[in-house]
Structure 1
């Protein structure tokens, strides 16, 4: 399904995209919508038997307070972060808010993974709470046809709701190992460029607004800069919508390199999470944690922001439209809106 991109870009979507990007149209976004993974990180590091609701909320509040002032937007979950950060005043009004719609984790469908939407949560509620955009994570293998069809069906379902409520829709895609592929072998690394690029082609053919993509190579497996640039340009060609790079928990130095190469090859910025802040779980003492956040973590974000601002492609330019004319607005447009 190919879409007329400007036709689906309603005035509400345009406003949302403005809210989650810089005035220059670049996405400098931080992800802190982690739920199960953050809980596991804290429990493993601090040997807690059980991390409770309030502890997870506190981590989100600390992250948001430190990073939101330097971000064009923050990605938060409804369980522990979005409403909590608004109500506690740590999400500035000038910073956009993306809210996740999926349940944490995935449903196993051997050998694939199926995304489930969070119960009692919806695009309508995300719009009502004042968020700027909806985010959906899908684990995706284009070579698993039946599983991919189910995932595309879920994306399409949410996309239709986002069109109805005229709110931007960002889809995050992540590949994963099947059969005898794992991180200890090079099998998945060899396949990764093709998987990521084909995933972009299939997913971005639906009426989505921004693609949050993996870097289309494993830097531990491929170090040739010219090949990395080639893969990113192929990804750019495959995606008709603006795309940003996710961090997938890699080390910060690797993510910085990925952001620089991706933004130089067509990306419109980044939506980074653990690569920016994952070491905070090492600090059981809140004072030490806040110091690390306000220094090392903020410095990382500022560095990434400088890279994206210098090299990234504004989202509207990717769509072939001008910043001064994002949509045609005829007289009495509101009558049938």
Structure 2
């Protein structure tokens, strides 16, 4: 297990529910968020200024009701901090990855936000950082490059006393059918967790691997390193059940984005406030209760898989 330092442990505690489980509203999307805003003719129909205002409203009417929120350094930050929108009691996770990816020999690789380092995250008021890597753990070239990048960033964040959340997304190869990929997803997530921990990850953000058994295998592969489930655009009801299953089998919680807010980002501020308050906030409350309830159920179930300490 990759042990958290005192500073990292303190930062992790700020990302958790009353039961000590991770719950972070993910709002670092840029093109993805533009695409779901009502009235837009595709992502190009939303200006940077409009996106910034939508993110500010999302923080004010949803993120401030969560233990923590994940935001980007290109649109949301430092605006929501400098204008006092982000509540003092809500921890800030700063995303370091840029939108999209580059492709080399059929393999996807992360694009970094230019100039954003561990020191930048601190300057923006961040309590923690998040970096996304695309990974195919069954492809040696993918593992080699991602592992090297991960080790370097883990070292930089450790030197700065900054907690780094490692997000891993798997993907379908060009010569792989949808059916072949679907059959491999569970093992890909398990192996991605193992590779990440082997190369220094201390907190993970992973896709739901597809079943209770696969969740238990992810937890075993993580070897005590906390992992949170990402929502991947599924509907809220589906995500709640995925999180319940994952937490009952060792996951540390959830980092939820579109499942909470994708149908609440109307174009006008008044409509957004109404939808975020009456639709997204209750979803967040349900997700929090599900996470903490699943922790209690897992702890009391005979033969249950343990959850990270």
TM-score, length basis structure 2: 0.91
Distance 2:67 2:115 in 1: 28
Distance 2:207 2:107 in 1: 18
The equivalent residue for 1:146 is 141
- The alpha-carbon deviation at position 215 of structure 1 amounts to 0.2
Distance 1:261 1:318 in 2: 12
The equivalent residue for 1:296 is 279
Distance 1:41 1:70 in 2: 22
* Match runs of 1:286-325 below 5 Å: 286-312=269-295, 320=309
After superposing the two structures, state which structure 1 stretch, 192-201 or 83-92, moved more.
Answer: 83-92
The equivalent residue for 1:157 is 152
User: Does 1:84 find its partner at 2:79?
Assistant: yes
User: Does 1:209 find its partner at 2:202?
Assistant: yes
* Match runs of 1:258-269 below 5 Å: 258-269=242-253
2:252, 2:308 within 8 Å by CA — same for their partners in 1? no
- Residue correspondences, number: 299
Q: Which of 23, 27, 40 matches 2:22?
A: 27
The alignment yields a C-alpha RMSD, in angstroms, of 2.0
2:135, 2:146 within 8 Å by CA — same for their partners in 1? yes
- Specify the structure having the higher radius of gyration (Cα): 1
Q: Which of 130, 135, 138 matches 2:130?
A: 135
1:193, 1:231 within 8 Å by CA — same for their partners in 2? yes
The equivalent residue for 1:53 is 48
Unpaired stretches in structure 1, ≥5 consecutive residues: 218-227, 321-337
Distance 1:312 1:211 in 2: 18
Distance 1:130 1:15 in 2: 15
* Match runs of 1:169-208 below 5 Å: 169-181=164-176, 185-208=178-201
User: Does 1:5 find its partner at 2:2?
Assistant: yes
* Structure 1 segments (4+ residues) deviating >4 Å: 317-320
Distance 2:234 2:307 in 1: 27
1:214, 1:246 within 8 Å by CA — same for their partners in 2? yes
User: Does 1:246 find its partner at 2:240?
Assistant: no
> Comparing both structures, which one devotes a greater share of its residues to strand?
2
- The alpha-carbon deviation at position 146 of structure 1 amounts to 0.5
Deviations 1:130-156 (A, max 9, x none): 211110011111112112211111111
The equivalent residue for 2:240 is 256
1:277, 1:297 within 8 Å by CA — same for their partners in 2? yes
